[in-house]
Amino acid sequence: MNEETILPNQALEPETPGEQATRRAFLVAAGAAGLCYTAALAYPIYRYLASPEEMALSATAVTEVTLKDAQKLPLGSVLMFKFGTAPAMLIHHEDGRWIAMTAVCTHLGCTVQYEPQADRIHCACHGGVYNPYTGANVSGPPPKPLKLFKVTPGEAGVEISRA
Amino acid sequence: MTTKTLTNSLYDWVDERLGLSELAAFARHKTVPVHSQSFWYYWGGISLFLFLVQCFTGVLLLVYYRPGAEAYESVRQITFVMHFGWLIRSAHAWSANLMIFAILVHMFSVYFMKAYRKPREFGWLSGMALLGIASVFGFSGYLLPMDELSYFATKVGLEIPAAIPWLGSAVANMLRGGPEVGEFTVQRFFALHVVVLPALFLPLLAFHLWLVQRHGNAAPPSVEALPPSERKSMPFMPNFLRKDLAMWLISLNILALLASVFPWSLGKQFDSLAPAPIGIHPEWYFMSPFEMLKLLGMIKFLQGEPGEIAGILLFTLGIGLWILIPFYDIKKESGQRARAAHYFGLLAVFALLATTVIGYWTIR
């Protein structure tokens, strides 16, 4: 077909230095505007997706928890609870001692289990073993001990706080 | 090796395997007709842009939305608890409405430019199917917040399939997941809205866009009649694309303005025992059929069920004729049929506008 075609502007005539300068100014302005747009879109989306993280952050700021009626926990048994957002365990040992510590394995983050018969804390994922009185890592892959909490048993419940 | 030779050899490597230069050559030769009606060419692109916005904001809503019994609570959480959740929900709702509007403008411009004629019949048919799916998207999405308005809109909307003779109640129960609108309804509408409809829409959209590449933009008959030397066109790359993207930017700005200045509201949680709120009415794009049904019901011998069935038959007939227009108006020369098709289009526009205006006028 013999259609008349409007060519792209650039092809019409050779550029003069002045035109080059205005083109640079235009590109800089367009780039800046583009960045502003991207930021204006990205910021609300980031905050939206990060909302649960921010909520969790206020939960991890918790410094103490009171477990109602936990003073009735029988000897040689365990109570799992949440300290902030992470699982933790309260153990009432046979000798009457109260021990509380985080229940998150320091190896790869599985939740550990108290085994009263073996008198140990065991992680089923990779076989890590901890001391149920001190939280010390005894055998297996865990690199660090489990953190202990301060336990204050009372009349109405047991108070757990950061040591 | 300099950066340039490195880029060139990387390009060659990819080109050899994917044939990029064929695509580039195709893009270089693609042109768009230039004439007084060229403005209407942007509306398909605007519809596409708004659809992309729907996909994007839809996925963001999906991050927190929970269908079923907790639907309302999760939308309340998105709107009032999550940072900027109100904005994302508002953008999704506004963009849905703007998309339907853009598709309608696109459809009527195609109709009046007679762009459905040979060889573009499949473009018209796939476009109509896309509009049909888009309206089901709208209807199913409207229920998901499970507030008062969405509850009654769905209840009323499902009375339309229920009016189909013989099969009606079975179809309505199947869509509803039981005899009443409730948590089972929202769960299956959710499956429809985020899985079934996209699975139908996306391949159809790809087909539609491929046809546009294959046949190019249609020029209106008055331009087609000109000798080739008097027709003008512009290269798609980069001239038309640049204008297209500018339109996308304008659409984005309008959407951002509407979504932030007029945030989409969330009504009270639905209560199956509460009476319908005063002034309840369908979304604007369902207003016209709703009002036509109401008007037909006012004719004396069509009161009650006969009126509803007559109305549904009339719609089916009208939509059927509309869809089949490429097979009726086939001659390139302007003749009897071309004029009839033109008047049918004007009648459709008039009927849609008039019934929509009457519909809003008579809301109590």
Return the exposure string of A52-66: e unless at least 16 CB atoms fall within 10 Å of the residue's CB, then b. eeeeeeeeeeeeebe
- A34 in the same domain as A94: no
Using CA atoms, how far residue B165 sits from B88, B170, B306, B312, in Å, is 41, 10, 11, 11
Report the half-sphere exposure of B90 (CA within 13 A, side-chain side). 19
Alpha helices per DSSP H over B163-280: 168-176, 183-191, 197-215, 221-224, 241-261
pLDDT (0 to 100) of residue A5: 53
According to CATH, the topology of domain B38-270 is Cytochrome Bc1 Complex; Chain C (1.20.810)
- A109 in the same domain as A36: no
Place of tokens 């297996």: A140
In chain A, the DSSP E strands lie at 4-5, 64-68, 77-83, 86-92, 98-102, 113-115, 120-123, 128-130, 137-139, 148-153, 157-162
Low-confidence ranges of chain A (pLDDT < 50): 1-4, 7-11
Instruction: Starting at the earlier edge strand, list the strands of the sheet with A120-123.
Output: A113-115, A120-123, A128-130, A137-139
Higher per-residue pLDDT: A15 or B78 = B78
pLDDT (0 to 100) of residue A62: 82
pLDDT (0 to 100) of residue B279: 78
Give the chain B residue whose CA is nearest to the CA of A42. B84
- A132 in the same domain as A55: no
Place of tokens 């598709």: B103
Q: Could you tell me which residues come within 8 angstroms of residue B346 by beta carbon, excluding any fewer than 6 positions away?
A: none
Other Cβ atoms less than 10 A from the Cβ of A112: the count is 26
- The string of pLDDT tens digits covering residues B104-116 is 999 999 999 999 9
What is the value of ipTM here, to two decimals? 0.88
- A91 in the same domain as A129: yes
Average confidence (pLDDT) over B181-193: 96
Query: Structure tokens of B225?
Result: 């009649």
Of the candidates B63, B231, B239, which has its C-beta nearest A3's C-beta?
A: B231
Q: Confirm or reject contact between B187 and chain A (CB < 8 A).
A: no
- The string of pLDDT tens digits covering residues A16-40 is 667 777 889 999 999 999 999 999 9
Pairing of strands A4-5, A148-153: unpaired
B242 pLDDT more than 60: yes
* Residue A3 belongs to a domain: no
- The string of pLDDT tens digits covering residues B106-155 is 999 999 999 999 999 999 999 999 999 999 999 999 999 999 999 999 99
For A37, the domain range is 15-60
Q: Cβ of A50 and B63 within 8 Å?
A: no
Q: Confirm or reject contact between A2 and chain B (CB < 8 A).
A: yes
User: Per-residue confidence at B349, pLDDT binned at 50, 70, 90?
Assistant: very high
- A71 in the same domain as A33: no
The region of weakest confidence among B252-261, B263-272, B326-335 is B326-335
pLDDT (0 to 100) of residue B224: 86
pLDDT (0 to 100) of residue B159: 83
Q: Which residue out of B60, B64, B84 would a mutagenesis test of the A interface target, given it has the greatest number of A Cβ atoms within 10 Å?
A: B84
How many structural domains are present in chain A? 2
pLDDT (0 to 100) of residue A15: 59
In the beta sheet, which residues pair with residue A87?
Answer: A82
- A78 in the same domain as A53: no
Query: Structure tokens of B256?
Result: 């951002």
Percent of chain B with pLDDT over 90: 72
